Amino acid sequence: MSKKIVSLFLVLLMCIGMCNAAIAQDAAVSVTDMYGREIVLDEPAKRIIAMTPADCEILCAIGCEDLLVARGEYCDYPESILALPSLTTGGNLNVEEILALEPQVILMGDMNQSAEQVQQLEDNGVKVVVSQSTDIEGVYTAIRMISALVGKTDAGEQVIADMQNTFTAISELCEKSDKTIYFEVMPLEWGLWTAGAQTFMHELAHVCGMENAFADLIDWQPISQEQVIERDPDYIVLVTGMGETAADEVLSRDGWEDMKAVQNKLVFNADSYAMTRPGPRLAQSAIDLYEFLYNTEFVEAAE
């Protein structure tokens, strides 16, 4: 009888060991960042620094604001994160300041931080995860990556589904048109820049049934006033962050007075932070753009 008890006891210990191993394996996290670097954690991250506004907004959208121990200096949404320590970004990255906060993970964009700074962080046990999106599919990739890092994959998929549902609902309301939108992402005083193809702004135009006036360009590019005037867009969308008078400034530019968008006063001063950040608020930007283009309120159909 005693031998049977011992045998059962050993079997029980083996089962417990196997269960514990399975739990440990399930708790481990492995993701590939957007530079193709494999990131492995023993467990979902609980202390994170987000250096870019988009990554910060993604974390908050999936319900993980409480995991943030600091933010990059340009992270300002939602307003509640302003209470967190603010860190300099790019070439002015302060590695010692970051290490003092004891993060497990730091989310970075493709900015001006040096390879030496990144290596110093990693040598001190901080996982550096690069997040860089230029189109909407890239935003979905970033959401999945970040939600996997914190063990919130279901929440990440829900955020993606909500975005996709909004884009689909708007697309179904819009008939395809050959009218064009010019996105001004840098104001005249600093030298004009616009959004070309392979950008989420280009895709937002298509979601709303319109064409991008600079679809022949790739990525964000500098342009001239003469190019804008020659293309004579039907709509002008400003994402320059130049304040409430930005549209008035465009409407009063010398040489622009004969353009269709100017004559019809179809210049939209968009929420520049929402429309320029590759994050969940692109869905709201699509709604805002739709309401401007069609002069009607967006009402999503009930399921």
Whether residue 119 is found in the same domain as residue 205: no
φ/ψ of residue 142, rounded to 5: -65, -40
Higher pLDDT, 132 or 183: 183
Q: Which band of pLDDT confidence, cut at 50, 70 and 90, is reported for residue 17?
A: very low
State the Cα–Cα distance between residues 84 and 75, nearest whole angstrom: 10
Is position 98 within any domain?
Answer: yes
φ, ψ at 171 (rounded to 5°): -60, -40
Query: Is the pLDDT at 8 greater than 50, yes or no?
Result: no
Instruction: Confirm if 97 and 49 have CB atoms less than 8 A apart.
Output: no
Is residue 199 located within the same domain as residue 234? yes
Structural domain harbouring 65 = 28-151
* pTM score of the predicted model: 0.88
Is 87 within a domain? yes
Q: Is residue 106 part of a domain?
A: yes
**Tokens at residue 92, please?**
């002015």
Same domain, 146 and 182: no
Nearest residue to 81 (alpha-carbon basis) of 49, 106, 109, 46:
49
- Domain final residue pick, 119, 151, 183: 151
Q: What is the pLDDT of residues 36-91, one digit of tens each?
A: 889 999 999 999 999 999 999 999 999 999 999 999 999 999 999 999 999 998 87
Model pLDDT for residues 182-216, shown as the tens digit of each residue: 999 999 999 999 999 999 999 999 999 999 999 99
Per the structure, the count of domains in the chain is 2
How many CB atoms lie under 10 A from the CB of residue 34?
17
Final residue of a structural domain among 104, 119, 151:
151
Q: For residue 225, is it within any domain? A: yes
Q: How far is CA 171 from the centre of its chain?
A: 21
Say if residue 234 is in the same domain as residue 142.
Answer: no
Q: Is residue 164 in some structural domain? A: no
Q: Given this model, what pLDDT does residue 69 score? A: 98
Within a domain: 1: no
Asked, for residue 300, whether it belongs to a domain, the answer is: no
Query: Distance of CA 82 to CAs 17, 69, 71, 75, 143, Å?
Result: 45, 11, 8, 8, 22
Q: Supply the pLDDT for residue 116.
A: 87
**Model confidence pLDDT, tens digit, residues 209-246:** 999 999 999 999 999 999 999 999 999 999 999 999 99
CATH of the domain at 131: 3.40.50.1980
Q: Is residue 199 part of a domain?
A: yes
Per-residue pLDDT, 118: 87
**Amino acid (one-letter) located at 66:** D
Give the pLDDT score at 111: 65
Contact 279, 254 (CB under 8 A): no
Residue 126: other Cβ atoms inside 10 A: 21
